[in-house]
Every structure is written in C-alpha cells, then in structure tokens.
Structure 1
Amino acid sequence: GWLDVTVAIDRLEFSRDRQSVVVHIIVDEGPLWRVGSLAIEGLDPENLAADQDLLFESDELLALTELQPGVPFERARITHDKTVLMRFYGERGYLEQRYFEDDRAGGARFLEPDVTYDWQAHEAHVTYRLVQGRKRFIGEVKVNGNTYTADKVIRRELDFMPGELANIQQIERGLARVRGTGFFEDPYDPTHIPPIVVFQMDEQDPDTIDVEYRLSEGRVVDFNISGGVASDSGIVGLITLSMRNFAIANPPSGLFSAPGEIYRKEAFHGNGEQFALDLSPGSEVSFWRVMYAFPDVLGTHHDRYMVRAEALGRDRRYNSHDETRDQASLTIARLFGAGDFSLRMGPRWSSINISALSDLANSPSTLVNSVGTTDMRGLSLDMRYSQLDNRRSPRDGSHYRLGNTFYGGPLGGDQDFLKTEFEYKRYFQLGDDTEDVRPGFYLGAAAGVSQIFGDTSQVHYSERFFLGGTSLRGFDYRGVGPMGGSYSLGGESMARATIEYRYPIYTTPIAGTSRRQEMFRLLTFVDAGVLGLDEWSLDADDVRASVGFGFGLVTPLPLTFNFGFPFLDQDGDRQETFSFSLDMFR
C-alpha cells in the first residue's frame, strides 16, 4: 500500500583500509494508500474491450475477496483474490485457461485489474476484469505414462465420470490421490516428474473437454538394509522389502530372470496391491512382519472391497520387563466412493508373554498381574474418513478414525474387554494460496477407553494406554503416571491433544515443473494428555502438558529432533527433554 515510497542511497561509509563499506539508505514511505472501491466486470473473450454480463451475482463474488474498501491496497490481496475467484468459477465448470494446452480453448482468465488513483484521498478504485469462459463438461478421462500400471489403479482414485460437470476441485483432488499413492513418485531421483493434469478441448464440441492425467512410473520397489536410532526404541537394524504397486498375479518368467524383471517393473508390478516383508533386530526392539493387501477384490473401482492380511512378531525390552508379542490379523474393508470413507472389520489374534520383571517390589500391580503368556482373540470394527491433500505427506485436510476391538466373550481367549479409540488429525496452511510451500498448523487429538466384562478384573498391561515419548513430548516413553512404584500403571482411559506450528526453512524445485517442495522445517508445539486408571475416569487435575520446539528433514528421509519442556507434571513422572527419530538408509 505504500505506492509513493522512495528509496535512495544517502552516503557510503568506507573503512580505513577500504576493505568494507557501510551503505546508508534513506526510505521515505509516503502515505498509505487504501482501497476506495472494488468492482468486478466480465469481458467478452472475443473482444476484451467489450463488457459481458457476469455469470454470478457481483455481491457473491465480492464476498470472496480480501481486497475490500478501506483496507491497504496490496498486491498480495489481489493475488489471493485471483486464486479464489478462479477456483470459484472452476468448481462450477468454468475452468481456468492455464490448464489447457491450446490457447484457443477460451478458458477463464483473471486479467490485470483496472485501477484509478485518487491522488488527493490516496485511494485506489479497483475493477477486477474476468474472462469467464464457458461451462465445460467431461468427455474422456485419459491416463498416460502408466507403462506398467493398470489403468484401473489410477481410475479408482478419481470420483468423477464422463458426462459430469468439470469441477476443478474434484479433478485436483483426484490428482492429489494419485500422487498420494506414491506409485508415480521417486524421492531419490531429483529429475523425476510428478503426476500432472491437463485439459484438451473437443474441437467438435467446445463445451466438452478431455481430462488427461500424465504420469511417470516411480520407485515402488524398495529393498533396504538400513539402520536407525529413535528415543522410543533404541538402536535398530532393518532389512525390508516393500512393493507398493504389487501384482501377485504377474509373476516373473523364471527364477533367474526374476530380479531383473522386478527391477524393470515387468513382474510383480502394476495392480496397486501392497506387499511388505520386514526383519528388524535391535537393542531394545526386534520385530518381523509380513503384510499383503489387495485394494479392489471385486474390481468395482468405486465402492470397492479391500482385503488386508498381516502377521508380525515383536520382542521388546522395557526398563521394567520384557514383552514378546505374536500377532495375526485379517481385515476386510468397504471403501465408499474413491475411498475417503471406509468401514473395516476382521478377526485378530495375539499371544503376549511378559517376563523378566527388573524390580518386582517396585513394579506396578497392573504389570505383575499380567506376567506370563496371555492369548487374546478379537474382532475389530473401524470407521475412517480421510480427505488429505497427500496421504504420504499431508499439508492440508483432515482425518478421522473410530476404532473398536471386541476381545474375548464368545471368541474365547484369556481377556474379555472392549477397546475403543478415536483419533482426529487436521492439517491446514497459512499464507498465500499461490505458494507451493507454506507454513501451517497440525492439530491432533485422540481418546480411548477399555471396558472389561466377564471374568476379567483388569485390562492386560500391554493393552492399557500409555503416554510419553512421541505421544507426549518432554516425558520419557511410558513415563507418565499414575505410577505404581517406579513405572506407569497405564490407563484404561486416555485423552491427549497436540497443536504444532510448522515453518519451512528450505525448499527445492520439483523436476519438470515450476513447483517447489519442502526439505527442512522448524516446528513449535504444545502437547497435553491425561490417563485414567479405570474406565471412563479422567481427572482434569491429572493433566500433563509440555511446550517445545523441533526441526527436521521432510524428504526424502524422515528425521526429526524435538525438545520438550513439561509445564504440567506430577511426582514420579519421568521427563525427557530431547527426543528424536533418525533413519539412515544404505
């Protein structure tokens, strides 16, 4: 808004040895210019000198703008208004010209505003000039560049069909889902071009467009021998084979040709299935895992059924005891639409052995009563709703999960209880919508309760709720009371929340585009949580909370350092200021 600003060099002040100089600059800001009025007009796309009636009420459009009478006249506000107005039109079928490859497509455009200056009142009278384009409908939906991946894998991520109104929000959300699969990205190759979407006009019917998603096969087969260290789990090694775009019905042609065909994506690739095989020896935690998931059993694309099977074993050495867990689960999920909302259910079995109590006299009663081997048989039912801009690295959107697992009763096993958990995550960005990388907030909340029935007198120690470590920074892992001797009793009720401000400090360009991606970030946070010894028994006086900061690498390797400082704690809590997670791949 400082349109009359003048900047001039006052003088140069050299050092005696003439090796350095101090530059003195004079800045005269002048008066602050404000917006006197704002209007919006439509222009004839064939003759920009001629007006065209607005397709929507002027008051409706003006309500979307940040540039309003009385506010400072700032370029940033105009840039924001361009984005929101073009999106408003795009969600109603009037697509912006920049998405079209053909300059003759006649898409919507936001032209340079017409500004009249009142030099006496220092006011700017602004008129936004819009070329509104025409309402478009979808013709073909094309997918190109998926050399080895089946079309159906991409199309099930899209929630629009030919013949429907071309809604830019739906089209871009489909692009975000395709990117979020990770099938067409390679974080280790800086020249890899991520998926994009373009529109092609039908010359026979200008009201119809073809939507084309352009892809390039990414890195989806990872075989890693890696090591890492984390404050919650100590030093670990990891041997992992992960295939994110697996195809079990596409085996290699021979045993000796298998490695080459898999590497070239000619075998075990292209159907969107997932397969993982992990083996991890560690100083405090050792585990193995086998997982397979088929995302579309019946081939319906939308409203599909997914099947997921997993088996794992984990051996963990706590300060208080040793715990060995063997577990298997089968999940059948119904994903509605393109999968934003889903229902999941299936059986699970666990065998848990607790042994080697380090200090029986100072061990909590909940732990002592759980010593030995316990079999658990359960049935889970989950509901999830997720609408994130990127499932792998979200920056905007929300995620909800309500999970219930029924153990024992007619299913058998040594424990009878119902475990219910709720989780909420919200991501949103601040600043100019036109920027690729922006600061933002992450809000998280979770709550849980375990309710016993039948012959069970208390929930098994391994299935109780705990706080500390990454779940409540500033406190040691499982370091939050109520305490029993030297260790946490664990809770049958739990609630926690976090708010985190994330600020990018370094970005890099994305190959083949004008976009940028975040590499390093700073963050500040406030965490809070509370445990209740019994079901439905949370006391506000028992809340623990901490404040802190951190920094980390975002891509391609996850690395985060956190420094937490409790300001609400209780006697017996174990504190830990510094926590971190580091993965080192070779």
Structure 2
Amino acid sequence: MAAGSKLLRAVSAVALSSTMLGAVAIGTQLVGLGEASAAVVSGISVKGNQRVEDQTIRDFMSIKPGENVNDAGIDAAVRRLYSTGLFSNVRISQNGGTLLVEVDENQIVNQVLFQGNNKIKDAQLEAAVQTQPRGAYSEATAQADVDGIKEAYSRIGRSDAVVSVRTQPIEGNRVNVIFDIQEGERTKIGQITFVGNNAFGDTRLKQVIQLRESGILSFISRNDVYDEDRLRADEEALRRFYYNRGYADFRIVSSVAELDEAQNKYFITFTVDEGERYAFGNVNVESTIPGIDGEALRGELKTQAGDVYSAKSVEDTLVNLTNRVAASGYAFAQVTPRGNRDFTNHTISVDYVIDQGPRAYIERIDIRGNTKTRDYVIRREFDVAEGDAFNQVLIQRAKQRLEDLGFFNRVAVSTAPGNEPDRVIVIVDVDEKSTGEFSVGGGYTTGGDSSGPVAEVGVTERNFLGRGQFVKVSAGFGSGTRNYNLSFTEPYFLGRRLAAGFDVYRTENTSGDYDVTRTGGDVRLAAPITEQLTAQVAYNFKQEVFGDDKGIDLEADLDGDGRADDDVNDPSRLPLVLPYKSTCDNPDPSGLYPRPAPRYTKSDIINEAICDSPYTTSSVSYSLTYNTLDSNKDPRDGILIQGGQEFAGIGGDANFIKSTAKANYFKLLSEEYDVVGQLSAGAGNVSALGGDLRVFDNFFKGQDIVRGFKSKGIGPRQNSVDGDADEAVSIGGTNYVNASAEATFPLPVVSRDFGFRGAVFADAGSVWGSEFDGEPGVVGTDFSLRASAGVGLIWASPFGPLRVNYAYPIAKEDFDQTQEFSFGFSTRF
C-alpha cells in the first residue's frame, strides 16, 4: 500500500514538472511573438478563392495597406477568416511588405438528405440540424448535427440509433450532405424503483410521476420514453406530492437512470428521504405597514392550525394576501411566510409577515423557446405587465398557470437586472410539446337504445394555431347510432379571462323503441368568479325528429291466411300500392284498419308525441360550478358541485323551466393502498311554462343514476295498449333524485401501468311525476326508491376510460327494466 502511494506521488511529480516545462515553453513563444518587429503592409494578395471576392476577404481580415502588422495581428486575421465559416483552410504569409493570403473555400451545400429514417419525418429532422442548403459546408457543424439527430431519436425512446454523415460532391464545388440513420429498436423502461419510501408504496408513487414502465400498450401512450428532462420533472412532481401531504423535510437523495444495453432498457431508481410528517401549528398574520391590520386578513388564510401541512395551501395563502394588500393600494407589499418547526410535536407554525417590499418595476417580459405558441398566449397568464410593480408571488402563480395549460414540457421563470436600478426583466423560458391528438376508440355498450359495438374517431387540438384555443372534431358509430360533434373554445374572449365557445352536434338513433334524430348546438360564455367558482351562460337550440320510418307493416299477414295483407291476390283486401308502412300523415289509405293512428310503439302517449314532431327547442341556460378537485382527470380529493337552470320558450315548440344539480365528493381513504372514496348526489325538476309539458322534455333515467337498471329503465311508463307490462314504454318523469357511494382501488398483483382499478358501489334513486298520471296504462308516477349494489372494473385505456359494472337491484318495482351487467365508457361525474 505504501509502495503504491510512493508511486502515485512520483507520477504526480513528473506530471507537474512536465506541465511547468510546457508552460515555460509556451511563455517563451508568446514573448517571441510579442517582441516580433512590426512591418508595414504595402499590399494584400489573395489566392485560392472562387466565389468570395478578393475585397471581401480583405475586409474580413481588418488589415489595411499602410498599417503596421506583427505575428499577433496575422493570427487574429486568420481567426477572423475562419470565423466566417466560408473557408476550410486559411494560410497567411508575409513576403516583404506584401501579405499573401491563400484560402480553400468551403463547399456549398446543395441538399441535406436523410436516409433510413421512418420514425421521424424529414421535416422534423431538418429542424434538428444546422446544416442548411445554400450554406457553406462545415465538417464541425455536420458532426454537431449528428449529435442533434441522435438527441431527437433519444427523445422518442431510441437511444441506440446510429447516425453518420457523408458528402456527395457535385459540380460547382457543391455537395449533397447525407445523414445515414439506423433507427434501431425502441429503448424501453424496464423498471422504476423507489428506495427509502415508507409512507407511500411504489405503486402509489408511480402514479405521481409521468415516466412509466414499458407494457403492452406503451406503443400507444408513449409514456415509457426516458428523457432526462422528464426525470427532472418527475423529481419536482415527487417533491410537490410529499410537500402537500405534510412531509416538509422530504428530499430526493438521488435519481439514477441506468441503461442495460443487453436488454436495451432503462432501470430508474429514485432514492428518497421522506422525513417526518407535520401538521400546521399556530398560524398568524403580521403587518409592518401602517393601515394594514393583519387580523383583518385572516379570512384569506388557506392554512389552519391542526391541518396536515401543505405547501400548496401556503402558496394559495400568499397569493390571497398579496392580492388583498395590493387591492388596498400597496402595490409593493411583500408577504413572507416564516415557519417554525416543532420537532417534538411535529408541527410547523407559520407567520405571514407583510412588509413594504423594495420598489421595483417590471421593465419587460421576455419569452423564449416558443416556436408555435403566440407570445400573447403566454403573457395573458401573468397578472402583471410591463410597468407594473414587480411581485414574486404573482410571478410564481403565472408560472403555475403556464404549466397547467399543458402546452409545455417545461416552464422556467427567472429575472435579470433592467436598465435602471429599480427595473427588473422577467425571462420566461418554455419548452413546447405536442398539443394535438388523434384518437380512435372502440368498445361495446349495453343497456337501452345504444346497445352494441361502438367506435369513435376524433381529432383534438388544445393549442389551435398557437392561439391557445381548443378545437375538437369527432364522430361516433354504434349499433343503430351515429353522432357527430364539433367544439370550439376561446379561453380568453375579448382579451379577458372569459371562455367563449360553441358546440354543434347531430345524433341519430334507430335502435330503440322509436327513431330519434337530434341536430343542434349552443353558444356559451364562462367566467371565473373565484379560483374555484365558475359561472356559465349559454343559448341552446336543437331540432328533434322522432319515429321516422316506423309503424304498422302492411306487408304482414295479420289475418293469418298465409299471404301478405297487401297482396293484390288476397280477396279480403283492396289492391294496394306495394309496399306500405303506416305513417302519421296517412295511417291507412285502404280504410281496412280501424285504428286511426300508427303504432310506432306500444304507448299511445309516445305515438301521439311522435306524430307532432319535429320539435324545436330554443332556450337559455346558466350554471355555476364549484371545483376544488386535485385533478379533473383522476381525482382523489376535493369537491365538484354543479347546478343550473334552463329556460325554454324563446321561440321553438318547448316551454319549460328545468333545474338540475349534482355534487361529487372525493376523499383519499388510504394513501398507502390508494383507496379513493366518492359520494355523489343529484336532483332535477322540470315544469311547464304557460302550457302542457311535452313528454320528450321529461327526465329519462336509468343506469345513469342507479346501476343495475336499463337506460330509461325506471320511472313513469305506459303499459302496452294490449296490457302487456313487459312491453311498457318509458314516458319519463318530471322529478328525479339519486345518491351513490363508491370506493375504487388498484387491483392487487396487476401492474398499475395497465391502468386497471376495481370498484365497489351502492346506488339509490328515483324518477317520478307525470302530467299523464291517470291515463290508461300509466304506472310509476309516485315516488318509489330504487337501489342497487355492485362491483366494477375500470380501465384507463388509451381510448378513454372504460368500465364494466355488475349491479344487483335491491329495491325495484315490478314494471322496472333491469340489467345487471353493463359495459361502456366511464362518465360517472
């Protein structure tokens, strides 16, 4: 061991001596250059140039005849000529008073070609390279482009792509630059592991991050592509997750991604230190500004003593206090949270201190990295503008808003000094990501009019033309159903935070008791009242056509003689034109059938309403939405309450007022096992305005409020005119209520990357009330509670959330239509 140390010291001494000798030699050369005598330039001779003019080269050199020049000046001229990128070689020598400049010009790029690329299109690769047609070819630039192409392939999960560059000379000292690409296999993520986590299991933490282990459906979701930026983003996601759940001391010790070249897979390991879990201790507001009473601001607090510590609650409180104080005329007020940890009781007391901050203004806001998104789309997320007082809290809130847009992979906000001591430049760096989506989905729905296979094709763009607008076009096809939809939303109408938009739709259903075709649309305007409360108003119009091409088939053998009743050879019938279906306009031109109206369904109420169609409904509506959900896509905590009314009668055939309300409450019952509880309730009433209520304006409910029943399976209905209860037809109800309790959980053993969750639930509800109460065959107009309990399987598929339920009706009426098994798209809230 001692001998090894002596050897190491000896090697170090030799290396040091060599370095010193080299430094002395270089110093000697520099001295020689500095002492070289200067010579007067009488002329500059240029050779070797074919495209670049002699005078242009002389200008680049910055040496003029009549000037003194030494070796240092000549070296500087060589560097300037190289820096132009026009020359591959430059040599300058001095012959008396004449400078001889010899150059080899770089070749001109004729074309940039890519060969072997299938996964990335030429246009995308062209944006990744600096070598461009009609520019000078540079070998150094081309090699840098090789690295750029490799990086582009790495971002789509092909880290083992092999890229090389070559040139193909053509006439005129030009070249084609060819990048040869071997794309290789997609590099997957083999496993994601967490070390040091005790409060939350690996399964729960994997749901927090965006990176995913490779699975069967990874080729669709493409979320198993390793990228260092995504790894850094996942680190931040883990920090937020822990900080918002009481773990204020949480830190990431390390995050390592190791590539197993034999398997072509990354193995990612997060090593964490969770620390202790804290609750809020005493919370106070202090003000050093005269005229601002801290106690009067306690209503703005989102942090309460005894609650689990949450960094987000602290951030929300800072924003509330900052806005409140600024509204009182103190634009430069600064709110600072001061925490005091009690390590024994595991509490954090917070004092919000309001001081008069430094007087600084925003000189300008610089935005970088946005090639698609317009500048104003980013600027409008800031509550401050050029010339306003600089406030760090509002700047951070704008950063959060930009991240929530979903337009960017990364958002970074920094500051730089302005031209004056009290001026600040705000710099926003963004990394854009794809916001378009083409979706193709399919499945099978059960229950009611649309039972059978379904498919949907849609195109969605969340940042249309870089303007931040939302556009969706979709078409759905099923067993006897067709639907077409177009939606457009402008989130900042008239430059304000008003979401304006419209929807146009057409649905066709021929699989139920009668045909229904609806064509319509709406124009809407939504405005935020607070961060959680939103109001919306809309104008709605639709036309409904019922019962097309239905009725008695006169080709049937109703008299039982073995021949169609419209057969011209049947002596019991008058000759009829072939073939014929009874319609509202002409039930039976032969006069042989005594029934005056067609038999579209077994319900005379529905038949009469069908004969009055088409209907038009012209209405205005308003709604209020209160939303505190932690995620609209996959909520685990929070409340969603929606309520509103629709007033029909602004023209059209309908005259009614319809009131509806629903509420959903989510609570994470177990952090460790990721069990989520949900309580839901809803109610509705519809009443006529100045006339009778149309039957089709009623509420038609079933499995959408109480699972275990068919669509339109509960509520008032009219039995067959023949008295057959099994063929009763729903006529809807004027009132409904419903309530539900549900718990969902990840399936044991099954990898969470498959997106499966289980559910247990219990539903209860009722539909009642009818203006047709007392008419022949009408039943179910009184309130009667239905209830069911069951289990479900939820799949967060790439085509949208799909769900299978088995529900057993516990309480029902004899005339209800039940369906214990159902399958379809999950849209429960």
**1:565 is the counterpart of 2:808:** yes
CA contact (8 A) 2:526 2:534 kept: no
The verdict on how the C-alpha distance between 1:272 and 1:87 changes in structure 2, with shifts beyond 3 A counting, is closer
The verdict on how the C-alpha distance between 1:279 and 1:418 changes in structure 2, with shifts beyond 3 A counting, is same
Structure 1 residues 49-98: Cα deviation after superposition (integer angstroms, max 9, x where no partner): xxxxxx99xxx9997347xxxxxxxxxxxxx557699679867889xxxx
Match of 2:524 in 1: 331
AA of the residue aligned to 2:692 = S
Which of residues 629, 642, 645 is equivalent to 1:404? 645
Match of 2:663 in 1: 424
**1:552 is the counterpart of 2:794:** yes
AA of the residue aligned to 1:401 = Q
Alpha carbon RMSD of aligned pairs, Å?
A: 5.1
Structure of higher RCO (CA pairs closer than 8 Å, 6+ residues apart) = 1
**1:227 is the counterpart of 2:458:** no
**1:243 is the counterpart of 2:486:** no
**1:480 is the counterpart of 2:704:** no
**1:343 is the counterpart of 2:536:** yes
Match of 1:445 in 2: 681
CA contact (8 A) 2:340 2:348 kept: yes
Structure 1 residues 327-365: Cα deviation after superposition (integer angstroms, max 9, x where no partner): 133234444466842231224232332343699497334
Q: Note the C-alpha offset of 1:316.
A: 0.8
Structure 1 residues 294-328: Cα deviation after superposition (integer angstroms, max 9, x where no partner): 232311x33x352x222221111343222111213
Distance in 2 between residues matched to 1:288 and 1:534, nearest whole Å: 32
Q: Note the C-alpha offset of 1:571.
A: 0.9
Describe how 1:308-327 pairs up with structure 2 within 5 A.
308-327=501-520
Match of 1:99 in 2: none
Q: Residue 579 of structure 1: SS of its match in structure 2?
A: strand
Q: Note the C-alpha offset of 1:415.
A: 2.7
Match of 1:471 in 2: 705
Match of 1:457 in 2: 692
**1:64 is the counterpart of 2:305:** yes
**1:148 is the counterpart of 2:388:** no
CA contact (8 A) 1:496 1:530 kept: yes
**1:533 is the counterpart of 2:748:** no
Match of 2:732 in 1: 490
CA contact (8 A) 1:144 1:213 kept: yes
Match of 2:266 in 1: none
TM-score of the superposed pair, with normalisation by structure 2? 0.45
CA contact (8 A) 1:378 1:405 kept: no
TM-score of the superposed pair, with normalisation by structure 1? 0.62
Match of 1:101 in 2: none
Which of residues 377, 381, 385 is equivalent to 2:617? 377
Q: Note the C-alpha offset of 1:381.
A: 2.0
Distance in 2 between residues matched to 1:339 and 1:311, nearest whole Å: 28
CA contact (8 A) 1:41 1:129 kept: yes
Which of residues 258, 264, 287 is equivalent to 2:483? 287
CA contact (8 A) 1:285 1:316 kept: yes
Distance in 2 between residues matched to 1:181 and 1:84, nearest whole Å: 18
Which runs of 5 or more residues in structure 2 are unaligned?
1-279, 285-293, 296-300, 323-335, 553-597, 720-727, 774-779
The verdict on how the C-alpha distance between 1:127 and 1:293 changes in structure 2, with shifts beyond 3 A counting, is closer
Structure index of larger Rg: 2
Q: Note the C-alpha offset of 1:270.
A: 1.3
Match of 2:820 in 1: 577
Q: Residue 367 of structure 1: SS of its match in structure 2?
A: helix
Q: Residue 451 of structure 1: SS of its match in structure 2?
A: strand
Distance in 2 between residues matched to 1:481 and 1:501, nearest whole Å: 27
Q: Note the C-alpha offset of 1:443.
A: 2.9
Structure 1 residues 521-558: Cα deviation after superposition (integer angstroms, max 9, x where no partner): 222222222112337x9988512122222122236442
Distance in 1 between residues matched to 2:281 and 2:658, nearest whole Å: 58
The verdict on how the C-alpha distance between 1:217 and 1:339 changes in structure 2, with shifts beyond 3 A counting, is farther
Distance in 2 between residues matched to 1:198 and 1:142, nearest whole Å: 10
Match of 1:52 in 2: none
Q: Note the C-alpha offset of 1:200.
A: 7.1
AA of the residue aligned to 2:801 = P
Q: Residue 531 of structure 1: SS of its match in structure 2?
A: strand
Percent identity between matched residues is: 22
Distance in 2 between residues matched to 1:415 and 1:201, nearest whole Å: 62
AA of the residue aligned to 1:487 = V
Q: Residue 494 of structure 2: SS of its match in structure 1?
A: coil
AA of the residue aligned to 1:561 = V
Q: Note the C-alpha offset of 1:244.
A: 2.2
CA contact (8 A) 2:283 2:303 kept: no
Structure 1 or 2: more helix by fraction: 2
Q: Note the C-alpha offset of 1:235.
A: 1.4
Moved more, 211-220 or 494-503: 211-220
CA contact (8 A) 2:339 2:351 kept: yes
Distance in 1 between residues matched to 2:646 and 2:633, nearest whole Å: 26
The verdict on how the C-alpha distance between 1:176 and 1:551 changes in structure 2, with shifts beyond 3 A counting, is farther
Match of 1:251 in 2: none
Q: Residue 609 of structure 2: SS of its match in structure 1?
A: coil
Q: Note the C-alpha offset of 1:382.
A: 1.2
AA of the residue aligned to 1:244 = R
Q: Residue 371 of structure 1: SS of its match in structure 2?
A: helix
The verdict on how the C-alpha distance between 1:357 and 1:569 changes in structure 2, with shifts beyond 3 A counting, is farther
Match of 1:122 in 2: none
Moved more, 545-554 or 82-91: 82-91
CA contact (8 A) 2:803 2:824 kept: yes
Q: Residue 493 of structure 2: SS of its match in structure 1?
A: coil
Which of residues 270, 279, 297 is equivalent to 2:493? 297
Q: Residue 469 of structure 1: SS of its match in structure 2?
A: coil
Distance in 2 between residues matched to 1:581 and 1:484, nearest whole Å: 28
Q: Residue 383 of structure 1: SS of its match in structure 2?
A: strand
Distance in 1 between residues matched to 2:630 and 2:342, nearest whole Å: 31
CA contact (8 A) 2:488 2:503 kept: yes
CA contact (8 A) 1:497 1:527 kept: yes
Structure 1 residues 176-201: Cα deviation after superposition (integer angstroms, max 9, x where no partner): 765655444xxxxxxxx5x5677879
Q: Residue 465 of structure 1: SS of its match in structure 2?
A: coil
CA contact (8 A) 1:547 1:566 kept: yes
Structure 1 residues 380-430: Cα deviation after superposition (integer angstroms, max 9, x where no partner): 22122243333444443333333333323x51x233222222233333334
Which runs of 5 or more residues in structure 1 are unaligned?
1-37, 43-54, 67-79, 95-106, 116-124, 185-192, 247-268, 510-515
CA contact (8 A) 1:199 1:209 kept: no
Which of residues 494, 498, 503 is equivalent to 2:745? 503
Structure 1 residues 252-307: Cα deviation after superposition (integer angstroms, max 9, x where no partner): xxxxxxxxxxxxxxxxx2112222222223213111222323232311x33x352x
Distance in 2 between residues matched to 1:129 and 1:339, nearest whole Å: 26
